[in-house]
Each structure stands twice: as structure tokens, then as C-alpha cells.
Amino acid sequence: MPSLIPLIGEKLPEMIVPTTHGIRKLPDDYIGKWLVLFSHPADFTPVCTTEFVAFAKRYEDFKKLNTELLGHSVDSIFSHIKWLEWIEKNLGVKIPFPVVADPGAEVAKKLGLLHAQSATHTVRAVFIVDPNGVIRTILYYPQELGRNIDEILRIIVALQVSEKLKAAVPADWPNNELIGDRVIVPPARTVDEAAERSKHYTCFDWWMCHKEGSPEHAEAARAFLKRAAGL
């Protein structure tokens, strides 16, 4: 049985939602692409404005990763449009992606975005959904903390590496202290497979083996990390 709110490994709930770019059907309209669905507490608020500018300035990076962006809050379409107009006019940044309007908070309730911090404004949530419509990552931030957009990009790159190589990604990838930008081989499933591990992979022990990663993905992830660090 599905959970009351969507969890990692479940399909994004089917919804038909109004956005600033017209009606969107979730997740069907994004099948074949990665999707970052992110909520913000409210339009015309300072931290949310900085986030939308940051997402917009990274939009081409997301597109290169076959990823689309979809914003969300409990504000109306009218509010979204006026706020996005204000951002473009006053900050010189055009927001290129759609934003879901949810004044009845139906989407927010279905996705579990109303937390104890506020019963009327959503937390800063991020759902990263794969091309099959399956939720692969969920992040929650409090209202007072803006997100690091480059870290979200790094997560998408890491998930794509994991998919490509059928392997796990270590801490702080691609700059892990033990294995650098290499990836971790899935656990052995039999005694015989465990005994053969060291013949095929580099291992600390049979249960902790690693193999060559994806240099092009690692280079992209390092670029996002450097930008996040202001280097």
C-alpha cells in the first residue's frame, strides 16, 4: 500500500495542476526527463526570491542534465505572475520554468509540504523524480534557510552516475576521502560472489569494493561544488 505522503522509491502522485505555463499532468508530462519539483513558502518573500533567481540562473545546467524544474507554493496564479514579473523587471532575471498554483493547498497536502513550522505555508521541499516518474530524493529545508542549487545539481549528476554504472556513490562524491570519484559496487549476494569480489574489483574487504566511475560526470559535479563554494 502507498504511504499517506510520497516516499523515496514511490511514484510521484498523479495530479493535474495549474501552473504559470498552463495545465501540467504529473508525472506524465515529465516522463523521459528528470524533474525537480520544489516548493517555496510564499511569493514576494526575500529568501524565496533569491532561490528563484538562483534556479533560473542554473536552468541551462539542469537542461543539460535532461532535467526540468517545476516550482510550487500555495499562492494563486495571479500572485505568481505578478511576482515573476517583479523579479524580471527589478532584478533582470526571467523565470523560465512553470510554477504550480495551489491556493487550496491540495497539492501541498498530498506531497506532505505543510509541516509543524507553519500550517499555512509550505516548507522548502525538493522532490527529485527520475524519468520513470519515481521519486529518488526528497529534501526538506526550514523557511528561514535558502537552498544550495548547485548541491541539487550535484545530486542529479550522482543519481545519473548510479543509474549508468549500477553502483552506489560515496560520501562527498566526487571528492571522497577514500576512493575519490570512484563508485561503490553493490553488495555480494552469495558466498561464492563474495569470494570472487577481489578478483574483479578493488576492495578494502569483500563487502566494500569499488570500481572506476564516470570521469565526465565527476568533472561536472566538481564544477558545481566549486561554484557552490564560491571558487
Backbone angles phi, psi at 42, to 5 degrees: -170, 150
Q: What cell does 154 get?
A: 550535484
- DSSP β-ladder status, 99-101 and 67-73: parallel
Which residue among 12, 26, 35, 48 is the active-site one? 48
Catalytic annotation present for 209: no
Residues serving a catalytic function are 48
